[in-house]
Amino acid sequence: MKNKALFHIAIGVLISFGIAILRPQAVDSLLQSRWLGETMLSRYTDGSERENRIPEPIDLASLFPDIVIRRWNPETRKIALTFDDGPDDIYTPKILDILAEYNVRATFFLIGNSAEKYQNVVKRIWEEGHEIGNHTYHHSNLSKMMPWQILLDLKKARQVFADITGEDVLVVRPPYGALNPPAVEAIGNEGYNVFLWTVDSLDWWGLSKEEVIENVIPRVERGVIILHHSSGGPGEDLTGTINALPEIIETLQSQGYSFNTASEILEEIRMENEAKKLVYEGTLTTMKN
């Protein structure tokens, strides 16, 4: 009987390990406490952009127009420069130097644990008039996480940014652009907006200056959001972005483009929606009369 009981215990242990490996979310659902939950989050860090970028299977901006922003519709030539994966002490300061030289403001989507390491760089970003977005704490693949895990990760990063700058951060960009409808709903219900992009410089491939420029300039039109990176993963070289950025800015400025940040874009979208609502209500009133 004793051997039979030990056999059953061993089988149970093996099954539990199998579930933990194959279905980690099922285990995490039992660990809803903040401390236990945080210990699990780092597992969803999938590594470099090159290895994990996944084409978006559905148009989330169309499904969730009040939450997800991919571009906007300004009346004049306005665009947005955004930078992911920072901060660091190699590329991010060089990008800040270039933006200061051309008096351009951008939005930096920062990783929480990197922000903790390079707090002076985060302060510089904020003090020089740029905006900070939440790129998760661990550079997590949100499409693989349960809603409560997503919110826990974003909250952890949000607190880091608030501690450094004194300001709240309510714009999110998912690493790899990886999201699914449940993730969007969870994020939106917490009052966040999701900022995706329209034009990808593909600088995370370690491209040359000329290649980065070619991926950006021909694709620019009013209302686009341009994606660059201000830090790279192991072995990733962003020299192409550093060398291309001055020419990109000069070219676009010469074409009459100005540069907006995330909060400015959200405000323009809000005002546009209010104007549409007023027109709609006015039309209804006219029809009733």
Active site residues: 84, 229
Task: List Cβ neighbours of 273 (8 Å cut-off, separation of 6 or more).
Answer: none
Q: What DSSP state is assigned to residue 83? A: E
Beta strands at 107-110 and 78-86: parallel, antiparallel or unpaired = parallel
| Token output for 43 | 């597992």
d(CA 143, CA 288): 47
Write out the two tokens for 8: 């059953």
Give yes or no for a contact between 229 and 110, defined as CB atoms under 8 angstroms apart: no
- What is the DSSP code (8-state) at residue 45? B
CB 96 within 8 A of CB 228: no
Contact 181/60 with Cβ under 8 angstroms?
yes
**Which tokens sit at 162?**
């608030």
Whose CA is closest to 84, among 220, 246, 203, 245? 203
